[in-house]
Structure 1
Amino acid sequence: MRDLHKSSVLGSKHGSLQMSWRPQYRSSKFRNVYGKVASREHCFDGIPITKNVHDNHFCAVNTRFLAIVTESAGGGSFLVIPLERTGRIEPNYPKVCGHQGNVLDIKWNPFIENVIASCSEDASVRIWEIPEGGLKKNMTEAVLELYGHSRRVGLVEWHPTTNNILFSAGYDYKVLIWNLDIGEPVKMIDCHTDVILCMSFNTDGSLLATTCKDKKLRVVEPRSGRVLQEASCKNHRVNRVVFLGSTKRLLTTGVSRWNTRQIALWDQEDLSMPLIEEEIDGLSGLLFPFYDADTHMLYLAGKGDGNIRYYEIGSEKPYVSYLMEFRSPAPQKGLGVMPKHGLDVSACEVFRFYKLVTLKGLIEPISMIVPRRSETYQEDIYPMTPGTEPALTPDEWLSGMNRDPILMSLKEGSKKTSKLVFKTPAREKKSVVVNGIDLLENVPPRTENEVGQHSPRPGVELGVGRREWSLATAQEATAL
């Protein structure tokens, strides 16, 4: 277990220091955290997990549902399974199948637990409302269909503190900010010169960090689109980025100049040089980072690996301290993460993964547990955590307000769901104009490989009236 962590050079703004990556035996309440795989009857089996090679998780989970992108013909689809519906899933189980191209990313609304966003190679973002108890038949009609990108859409992210604000990143190198209250893009971030690989928000959602194929790490003010900090990573490639809670630090995973997997820690206010750079191993799979701000634990899971390493993040050097490693012979294609208010606090569970095992068509829950003998509530490992209520409305956030998440206690083992209801926009628009730019103007032709043979033209299709607006219908629309 220890031999995987080799010596490497830690870069610093004050010079460089040769240090060993051997575990530092320091006092920590999370020293003995271990991973526990659910028994077979509590797994999800028989799922045709997508074989798409896009570097996403293809999985999203909340306290009520598990969603998995599946392999299907004639367009993209994903399953939505109630969490209590474990065991073998029938081949004819109902799907969400309205996309006309492969689904590339799915994310649950953090405040309305039966609303999920998806994006696809058909250049659309769609919002789905899952009925109580799950699907009884195939769902083909989304409550919102959003067209603003001219290429496939690879990423979607919900704003962490504001209800009904959604970010999407496309292969047209643009990030669109959607206000779902009106069903339109309200801002466009156009500072990237290549495909955007990852997006991450800070705690209050006032900053957005992105990684890009142009080998640059950026910190952006999303409402203005202004780049506050930019790092040109010429000697290595950054793939994923995550904000480390309120520490004002970022962590990236990527590949070094020697083609070894590495992590780097950055000061968000100065990206001129990483605080540390650390080589992990020589494997080739993408490293997915997951950060738990409540326990200050970082989890690293490699695509195609069976292992999950975990570390503790500190405020002083060496900043990142190795704790332990969960090992499994089954390789993971992606991982879903349960929100904190869905964990089993009676078992001292501090994190839960849902691991996609493609070859077996299996979804395995993996619980990360702090071993404690006492059966009482452990307040030291369960501080107040972001809950299910939004802190801001879309109009408040767009006007420039920032507010920390509304916190909740896990003492009651809270399983409650949000009382918010998703409302379909009540009015239609005739164009998609963001920052004074008509997104539908001079749209270049798209290939069949990108969006599918029968994909629609870009536009905005709203839930009321079910009308798609595009250049071809602009004159007709004027007469309506």
Structure 2
Amino acid sequence: MSFRKVVRQSKFRHVFGQPVKNDQCYEDIRVSRVTWDSTFCAVNPKFLAVIVEASGGGAFLVLPLSKTGRIDKAYPTVCGHTGPVLDIDWCPHNDEVIASGSEDCTVMVWQIPENGLTSPLTEPVVVLEGHTKRVGIIAWHPTARNVLLSAGCDNVVLIWNVGTAEELYRLDSLHPDLIYNISWNRNGSLFCSACKDKSVRIIDPRRGTLMAEREKAHEGARPMRAIFLADGKVFTTGFSRMSERQLALWDPENLEEPMALQELDSSNGALLPFYDPDTNVVYVCGKGDSSIRYFEITEEPPYIHFLNTFTSKEPQRGMGSMPKRGLEVSKCEIARFYKLHERKCEPIVMTCAKEGMRGPYGASQLILTPRPPAQSDLFQDDLYPDTAGPEAALEAEEWVSGRDADPILISLREAYVPSKQRDLKISRRNVLSDSRPAAALGSSRLGTPAATTTAADATPSGSLTRAGEAGKLEEVMQELRALRALVKEQGERICRLEEQLGRMENGDA
């Protein structure tokens, strides 16, 4: 469609995309060819992760951001899955922790060494098994530490406590068909989903209840997407009955009609939306397209305001988006995308310019000049409100108990310094008797070992009564059974890895 040229006051009217120079790209990356509408890319202030082709299993590359140029074919990968990797997501509260979902029906959580990989990483910190079909969606909770959501082709949504390797919630009756995507709201109290049955749903995961539903949000048969905005509204992309790509904005209080609906074009690639809650700008990237369109969402009609389009020559296989805390504010960078080609990853920098003097032909010719550097007293407060930082606002147990909290914000006035490495510790609840209080069980913080209570700690001073001895014996027996189950699980895992190693040594992988 042709957008009306309406002059509207907005500081984002002059946001422009610029690809980086060739020597700042990541070359010779064999981007995955699986037919799944994932972004295939995840990025944070330390690392770039890209799902790649791998024979005999699934793998993804993890590169320090500084490792640009040609990537050696022998560069180590994260390669513990036995089937292709379909989705990856960096933990928002630890820049060295990443989760992956695969065709092998498992979710794996990985701890990346602080300086990147020096050898293939085959052992995840934890394997989460609960899906019966391939796992295509991974999404960390935005504010609660160690809470991870996964969705599979079994139409089941599982929510995990990674710190204890346990399944918290299983939502297996809310989606009758394939789930296209899932998006948490700002404080993680709800999530919205887009489904192959053409419905958009808003779900309370802790109660397992459907809060709102819109059938035929987009009437076309091709994949949709739905994301929560900061104010609680829902933004969707999809296709019309005539296969034209659409954008829509919805009020969850009234899903009868969209607040706004725009048709874009008749291309057939799924539209992947990326949202910046600080500026209320949505960037829309089509798979197989060569453009990124961006829109400002406002409270006044028509609500979705077209800003501009970044266009390049090569189509995109996938796309990653840098969190705000990883941007260079001194260059007025308000977004950075990592565009996947067939054989490389190309960063695209979005910068905000200011309107300068008018040219000799009046309003038709505007001279745009870069904003002044965002340093000290020249910091651009309007471009960089406080943004979500890396600290979790809640522990997993607090969220499970019903508490909600908005993200803990940080200022970007001073250059963001990534936090020091913090290991992810796993404290399995079934290793000791579950009769202990929840506080004693203690899901681990990322970087703080979970508290463990020994049997002696729980025993009153003085001699044990016969009843006490019987209770102690039962506790030891429970621990023994749990440890046997753990040993059996690890034994099976070792067998699988030995088989995989044998295939590699025989040249089959």
Identity %: 45
1:245 paired with 2:230, answer yes
Report the more deviating stretch, 419-428 or 284-293.
419-428
Q: Equivalent residue for 2:443?
A: none
CA pair 26-152 structure 1, distance change in 2 beyond 3 A: same
1:26 paired with 2:8, answer yes
Task: Give the Å deviation of 1:27.
Answer: 0.7
Structure 2: state its 5+ residue gaps. Answer: 354-369, 433-481, 493-509
Classify the secondary structure of the residue corresponding to 1:397.
helix
1:42 paired with 2:24, answer yes
Q: Could you report, residue by residue, the CA deviation over 1:375-418 in whole angstroms, capped at 9, with x for unpaired residues?
A: 22111100011111000000000000011110000011213226
**Count of aligned pairs:** 420
Q: Equivalent residue for 1:75?
A: 57
Matches within 5 A, 1:216-227: 216-227=199-210
Query: Which structure features the higher share of helix residues?
Result: 2
Q: Could you report, residue by residue, the CA deviation over 1:141-186 in whole angstroms, capped at 9, with x for unpaired residues?
A: 1110110001111101000001100000011111000001210111
Q: Could you report, residue by residue, the CA deviation over 1:211-242 in whole angstroms, capped at 9, with x for unpaired residues?
A: 01111100001111100000100761461011
TM value normalised by structure 2 = 0.80
Q: Equivalent residue for 1:102?
A: 84
Distance in 2, Cα, partners of 1:301 & 1:210: 19
Q: Equivalent residue for 2:489?
A: 467
Q: Equivalent residue for 1:196?
A: 179
The equivalent position to 1:92 in structure 2, one of 70, 74, 83, is 74
Matches within 5 A, 1:341-352: 341-352=325-336
TM value normalised by structure 1 = 0.84
1:122 paired with 2:104, answer yes
Q: Is the 8 A contact 2:99 2:138 kept in 1?
A: yes
Quick one: which amino acid aligns to residue 410 of structure 1? L
Quick one: which amino acid aligns to residue 287 of structure 1? L
Q: Equivalent residue for 1:440?
A: none
Quick one: which amino acid aligns to residue 26 of structure 1? R
Q: Equivalent residue for 1:166?
A: 148
Structure 1: state its 5+ residue gaps. Answer: 7-20, 431-459, 471-480
Report the more deviating stretch, 269-278 or 295-304.
269-278
CA pair 401-469 structure 1, distance change in 2 beyond 3 A: farther
Structure 1 residue ranges, 4+ long, deviating more than 6 angstroms after superposition? 460-464
CA pair 463-343 structure 1, distance change in 2 beyond 3 A: farther
Aligned-residue CA RMSD in angstroms?
Answer: 2.1
Q: Is the 8 A contact 1:145 1:463 kept in 2?
A: no
Quick one: which amino acid aligns to residue 257 of structure 1? R
Task: Give the Å deviation of 1:284.
Answer: 0.6
Distance in 1, Cα, partners of 2:268 & 2:490: 43
Q: Equivalent residue for 1:269?
A: 253
Q: Which has the higher contact order (CA 8 A, sep 6+)?
A: 1
Bigger radius of gyration among the two: 2
Classify the secondary structure of the residue corresponding to 2:79.
coil
Distance in 2, Cα, partners of 1:464 & 1:330: 49
Distance in 1, Cα, partners of 2:121 & 2:218: 47
Classify the secondary structure of the residue corresponding to 1:370.
strand
Distance in 2, Cα, partners of 1:234 & 1:280: 16
Distance in 2, Cα, partners of 1:179 & 1:279: 40
Q: Equivalent residue for 1:381?
A: 383
Matches within 5 A, 1:444-455: none
